[in-house]
Amino acid sequence: MSNTSIEPNSRISHNEKSPVYYFDASSSRYDYALEDLKRAFARPKLIWSLIRTGFFTRYHGTILGGLWVTATTALTVSGLAVLYGQIFGADLSKYFPYVAVGIVVWGLISTIINDGASVFLAASGTFTQSPIPKSLFVVRAIGIAALGFCYKLIVIAVVVFAVGLRPSLGDVGLSFLGLLMVVWTGFWFALGIGTIGTRFRDVGQLTAAGLTFAFFVTPVFWQASRLGEYQFVVQYNPLAHFLNVVRGPLLGLDGVMNSFIWAGGFSILATVFGVVTFGYFARRLCYWS
């Protein structure tokens, strides 16, 4: 054999330490998951490539492009606000922004939950064929949902200004904090539910069915104050609190602090759920999908 002598390789800097991949099937559970997460977040440019192609592919060749998200939302919000404003006999200057922020934040939450349940199934063709971190696809799903949310923010901004609301910088900041809470919780929840959804295919269907139901028991387009003795529907509904931590500060609604406490609690639960589930089963994902 002539090719046993190796020429020095000019393109690999020998000063750099070579990466080490170590896996012990009897002990590396959490290390494997942690390494996966670390590798996913170490590649911001790749994350952006994946989000960009994932989001804009849908709108290729259209004139409006991503603004179709804005247009669709504007239409839904206007229809709901005008019609249900009439049914509920609500003051449109208060009800319109209420529905606008409600629908947009609900859109973010439901997209994350829905896409989260099938996130690894949808990407299995990729991570079973190439050494790419699995959690990268959760980051991608959250990123695509967040990018859609940004396009919908235009609707919120227009509506809020049109009705003459001028939220203070502090209110906007608090609302942004609430939004970060939604995204943070969404990431860990998607990581966990995605893992379970890969093993049990019914989970995806279950979350889709559950979300339809949740839409009606969450005060997205109706006001919690009208519930009377059914207040518990909102009080023990985590989605209602996640909605309120974003919408409440912006529109000056009641119970914002209460919602922050509940949402904070649920975000801790979701984090534990995501860490434990992905931590325990990340190495099984290739076999399940």
Binding site for another protein (CB under 8 A): 1, 3-7, 9, 11-12, 18-26, 28, 32, 43, 45-46, 49, 53, 56-57, 60, 125-132, 200-203, 206, 283, 286-287
Taking residue 82's Cβ as centre, other Cβ atoms within 10 Å add up to: 13
Cα–Cα nearest to 189, from 264, 266, 242: 266
Q: How far is the CB of 144 from another protein (least distance, A)?
A: 14
Q: How far is the CB of 25 from another protein (least distance, A)?
A: 5
Q: How far is the CB of 62 from another protein (least distance, A)?
A: 12
Residues 6 or more apart in contact with residue 110 via CB below 8 angstroms: 211, 214, 215
Measure the CA–CA gap between 259 and 275, rounded to whole angstroms: 24
User: Which stretch of DSSP H or E encloses residue 245?
Assistant: helix 238-251
Residues 6 or more apart in contact with residue 18 via CB below 8 angstroms: none
Nearer to another protein, 201 or 226 (CB): 201
Residue pair 127/285 in contact by the 8 Å Cβ criterion: yes
Nearer to another protein, 92 or 196 (CB): 196
Taking residue 71's Cβ as centre, other Cβ atoms within 10 Å add up to: 13
Residue pair 198/280 in contact by the 8 Å Cβ criterion: no
Q: How far is the CB of 195 from another protein (least distance, A)?
A: 14
Q: How far is the CB of 189 from another protein (least distance, A)?
A: 18
Q: How far is the CB of 88 from another protein (least distance, A)?
A: 39
Q: How far is the CB of 28 from another protein (least distance, A)?
A: 8
Nearer to another protein, 22 or 232 (CB): 22
Nearer to another protein, 77 or 203 (CB): 203
Residue with tokens 């699995």: 134
Nearer to another protein, 52 or 226 (CB): 52
Rounding to the nearest 10 degrees, give the CA dihedral for residues 254, 257, 261, 264. Answer: 100
Nearer to another protein, 120 or 127 (CB): 127
Tokens of 233: 């529907």
Nearer to another protein, 46 or 165 (CB): 46
Helix axes 119-127, 92-117, angle to 10 degrees: 40
